[in-house]
Chains A and B, each alone.
Chain A
Amino acid sequence: MGEVMTKPEALDLDRMPVRDLNRRLQAAEPGDRFEVVNPLGRHSLAVGLTRPVEVTIRGHAGYYCAGMNDGGIVTVEGNAGTGLAENMMAGRVEVAGDASQSAGASGRGGLLVIRGNAAARCGISLKGLDIVVGGAVGHNSGFMAQAGTLVVCGDAEPGIGDSIYETRIYLRGTAKGLGADCIEKEMRPEHRQHLAGLLQAAGIDADPADFRRYGSARQLYRFKVANLGSY
């Protein structure tokens, strides 16, 4: 006999304030499961989690959903607003629909999956988080991204990877213009293997061979007046 899954605890935001929701989730024990109903685009849902608790948000979430997540497993069965999983440290956040701007901003660890599209500045200032976007990303995604990975299964609006440091970008669609110091790089076997692992972890069926890799030309790492046109 396998382990019997207990029914998730329902937290109804028509009946409780966001403050009580977060207090409950932050105090939960590892393995505890919750479903949040009537989110109605409220902000700061499931923020600051520090343990591997499972939270399913049944609807749309507002700004900063799963912000600074440090181990939680958060699923949004709708769209998410600005700053989804910002500064995430660990765990997994998944959005069934689209995400607004600055998804995964400055994220440091874990996996962020956006099954739909992500708006502008997805993965801005990225510091180690892996992001997999099923659709397209808006302009200046990966801006000043330092570490981690941004996988885009659709197209990228202009300015992708602008002023990028050591983040890897894998893009299946078309880049409508690379940002400053961002160049296409060779897709070697280790990169295809790395990408295959991320796609598998994200549950997205795509062939790594269809992707191209982008990263930093490392020409702007040192401030030089000769690069005036790039600043």
Chain B
Amino acid sequence: MSDALPRPPHLRPSALFDAATIHEIQRAAREGIYKIRGFGAKRALPHFDDLVFLGASVSRYPLEGYREACGTGVVLGERHAAKPLHLDIPITIAGMSFGSLSANAKEALGRGASAVGTSTTTGDGGMTQEERGHSKLLVYQLLPSRYGMNPRDLRQADAIEVVVGQGAKPGGGGMLLGHKISDRVAEMRTLPHDVDQRSACRHPDWTGPDDLEIKIQELREITGWEKPIYVKVGATRTYYDTMLAVKAGADVVVVDGMQGGTGATQECFIEHVGIPTLPAVRLAAEALRELGLHRGPVKLIVSGGIRSGADVAKAIALGADAVSIGTAALIALGDNRPDLAEEYAKLGTAAGCYDDWHLGNDPAGITTQDPKLEQRLDPVVGGERLANYLRVLTLEAQTIARACGKSHLHNLEPEDLAALTVEAAAMAKVPLAGTDWIPGQGY
């Protein structure tokens, strides 16, 4: 319950200076520092909710929901890797570092992903034995900071992801505050215990697509040309970034829209840099189509705001081969649970709004390095929750695909979609529902 008195009906609040804006101005004036948080863009953005599927009818016939097969597998790395990844479902776990997440959370992610035949990803801080041991398929990130990077772990990985950027902060580096620097985290990152650890925004040894091509060649030489190599970018100039990543030799392009949320950073960065996932997936798919590689040897993974099987199906229909989840995976593990309401209130927040993932005092034991808090997350139980959630996403996506008459999720296509808003029609380049109009393409 709020202690605030009810506002008399004749007093009109400003739409421009709403309560949250006023609060933030006052907080900034008081504290003299910008607001940092996780959880991705919170303002309303054009998203997959603005699209609907055109289920089968007279002109097309559906597949029987509980009888006829609808494939969900995807192979990543067929372009150059001797050992491509075979995923049973097209939903992967995004990179989140040990350091930002507890060891138990990393283990739970590995358990959950492995139970349903998909991959998880390391993050900015190196590989832990918990996640390697519990992840059947593990993608190892090569990040600008190179925290924890070593060739032994590179060879232990099943795939390598060169991270150029992420949706929460394309063009920005990161910072792990001293609150979360345990002895183990400090050792893995080769830094003193009591510092706020800055992560660089640029790689230390390459700049631009020509260098990236040589860098990827080096990684392949070190790992015997076995492993798929991904290139991950935050969604901005997505068409060109996709083209350049392919030119540089990527097996997989990962595009993270501005709703991508687990990376904590300045709120002004989260809300104002990057483009939404909706146009990003279409732009990346367009680039691959133009190169003649779409649904071919180069695969597209899209992330940023994937919540449901409908989102999965829409991303795939627009051209993704797979999606990746971060925020939703943390919620599945138990983040923002209502039963923690009292503890969230003590932190000045509420279940459903908790986004201080960088502070290390997470009552759910997920985004913390506090040994007591960490124990609150049972990695076995967390893994089961995540596996359940991934199964639901898959079943939902299959349900939609069958309704559209598709025997594999990858058979979904833009022609199966209609847009509910002009903005979504323009961004996704699918017709506004009830018309054949795509803004920018005329009649």
Of B152, B195, B204, which is within 8 A of A102 by CB?
Answer: B204
Of A22, A50, A106, A165, which is within 8 A of B204 by CB?
Answer: A106
Contact indicator per residue, chain A 87-126, by CB within 8 Å of chain B (1) or not (0): 1010000000000001001101000000000000100110
Q: Which residues of B contact A64 (CB under 8 A)?
A: 205, 214-215, 218
Query: Contact size class for B?
Result: 20 to 34
Of A67, A70, A82, A166, which is within 8 A of B152 by CB?
Answer: A70
Q: Does A149 contact B (CB under 8 A)?
A: no
One of A4-12, A201-209, A217-225 contacting the partner? A217-225
Of B154, B198, B221, which is within 8 A of A44 by CB?
Answer: B221
- Quick check: A68 and B195 within 8 Å, CB to CB? no
Q: Does B223 contact A (CB under 8 A)?
A: yes
- Once bound together, how far apart are the Cα atoms of A121 and B178, in whole Å? 27
- Quick check: A146 and B191 within 8 Å, CB to CB? yes
B43-85 contacts to A (CB < 8 Å): none
Q: Does B150 contact A (CB under 8 A)?
A: yes
Q: Which residues of B contact A63 (CB under 8 A)?
A: 211, 214-215, 218
- Quick check: B221 and A47 within 8 Å, CB to CB? yes
- Quick check: A124 and B204 within 8 Å, CB to CB? yes
Q: Does A83 contact B (CB under 8 A)?
A: yes
- Once bound together, how far apart are the Cα atoms of A47 and B151, in whole Å? 10
Contact indicator per residue, chain B 193-221, by CB within 8 Å of chain A (1) or not (0): 01110101000111000010011011001
Q: Which residues of B contact A163 (CB under 8 A)?
A: 198
Q: Which residues of B contact A87 (CB under 8 A)?
A: 146, 149-151
**Known contacts A70-B152, A146-B191, A223-B177; is-contact A82 B221 (Cβ 8 Å):** no
- Quick check: B221 and A19 within 8 Å, CB to CB? yes
**Known contacts A70-B151, A108-B150; is-contact A121 B204 (Cβ 8 Å):** yes
Q: Which residues of B contact A18 (CB under 8 A)?
A: 221
Q: Does B9 contact A (CB under 8 A)?
A: no
- Once bound together, how far apart are the Cα atoms of A67 and B220, in whole Å? 12
Q: Does B192 contact A (CB under 8 A)?
A: yes
Interface residue count on the A side (C-beta < 8 Å): 41
CB closest chain-B residue, reference A69: B151
Of A44, A83, A143, A147, which is within 8 A of B190 by CB?
Answer: A147
Contact indicator per residue, chain A 56-76, by CB within 8 Å of chain B (1) or not (0): 000000111001101000000
**Known contacts A48-B223, A106-B149; is-contact A225 B205 (Cβ 8 Å):** no
- Quick check: B191 and A89 within 8 Å, CB to CB? no
**Known contacts A124-B204, A166-B192; is-contact A44 B175 (Cβ 8 Å):** no
**Known contacts A67-B218, A125-B200; is-contact A82 B205 (Cβ 8 Å):** yes
Q: Does A128 contact B (CB under 8 A)?
A: yes
- Once bound together, how far apart are the Cα atoms of A23 and B217, in whole Å? 14
- Quick check: A225 and B211 within 8 Å, CB to CB? no
Most buried by A among B152, B189, B190, B223: B190
Q: Which residues of B contact A70 (CB under 8 A)?
A: 150-152
Most buried by B among A22, A43, A62, A127: A127
Q: Which residues of A contact B225 (CB under 8 A)?
A: 19
Q: Which residues of A contact B145 (CB under 8 A)?
A: 125
CB closest chain-A residue, reference B149: A87
Contact indicator per residue, chain B 21-50, by CB within 8 Å of chain A (1) or not (0): 000000000001100000000000000000
Q: Does A130 contact B (CB under 8 A)?
A: no
CB closest chain-A residue, reference B31: A225
**Known contacts A22-B221, A86-B205, A163-B198; is-contact A222 B178 (Cβ 8 Å):** yes
- Once bound together, how far apart are the Cα atoms of A77 and B82, in whole Å? 34
CB closest chain-B residue, reference A221: B195
Q: Does B268 contact A (CB under 8 A)?
A: no
- Quick check: B215 and A225 within 8 Å, CB to CB? no
- Quick check: B214 and A44 within 8 Å, CB to CB? yes
**Known contacts A67-B222, A70-B151, A108-B150; is-contact A225 B214 (Cβ 8 Å):** no
Q: Which residues of B contact A143 (CB under 8 A)?
A: 204
Q: Which residues of A contact B296 (CB under 8 A)?
A: none
- Quick check: B190 and A89 within 8 Å, CB to CB? no
Least distance between B161 CB and chain A CB atoms (Å):
16
Q: Does A152 contact B (CB under 8 A)?
A: no
Q: Does B224 contact A (CB under 8 A)?
A: yes
- Once bound together, how far apart are the Cα atoms of A222 and B223, in whole Å? 37
- Once bound together, how far apart are the Cα atoms of A84 and B32, in whole Å? 42
Q: Which residues of B contact A47 (CB under 8 A)?
A: 218, 221-222
CB closest chain-B residue, reference A23: B224
- Quick check: B217 and A44 within 8 Å, CB to CB? yes
- Once bound together, how far apart are the Cα atoms of A77 and B411, in whole Å? 56
CB closest chain-B residue, reference A102: B205
- Once bound together, how far apart are the Cα atoms of A43 and B214, in whole Å? 7
- Quick check: A82 and B218 within 8 Å, CB to CB? no
**Known contacts A43-B214, A82-B211; is-contact A165 B191 (Cβ 8 Å):** yes
Q: Which residues of B contact A19 (CB under 8 A)?
A: 221, 225
Least distance between B256 CB and chain A CB atoms (Å):
23
CB closest chain-A residue, reference B177: A223
- Quick check: B198 and A144 within 8 Å, CB to CB? yes
- Quick check: A222 and B218 within 8 Å, CB to CB? no
Contact indicator per residue, chain B 146-175, by CB within 8 Å of chain A (1) or not (0): 100111101000000000000000000001
Contact indicator per residue, chain A 29-51, by CB within 8 Å of chain B (1) or not (0): 00000000000000110011010
A to B CB contacts below 8 Å, 22 in the list: A47-B218, A64-B205, A67-B218, A67-B222, A82-B211, A83-B205, A83-B215, A86-B204, A86-B205, A87-B151, A89-B151, A102-B206, A105-B146, A105-B204, A108-B190, A125-B200, A144-B198, A146-B190, A163-B198, A165-B192, A166-B191, A221-B192
Top 9 A-B pairs, shortest CB-CB distance: A48-B222, A83-B205, A106-B146, A105-B204, A221-B195, A68-B151, A102-B205, A105-B205, A64-B218
Residues of B near any A CB (own CB < 8 A): 32-33, 145-146, 149-152, 154, 175, 177-178, 189-192, 194-196, 198, 200, 204-206, 211, 214-215, 217-218, 221-225
Besides the known contacts A44-B218, A86-B204, 11 further A-B residue pairs in the complex with CB atoms under 8 A apart: A19-B221, A26-B224, A43-B218, A50-B151, A63-B211, A63-B215, A108-B190, A124-B205, A143-B204, A144-B198, A223-B175
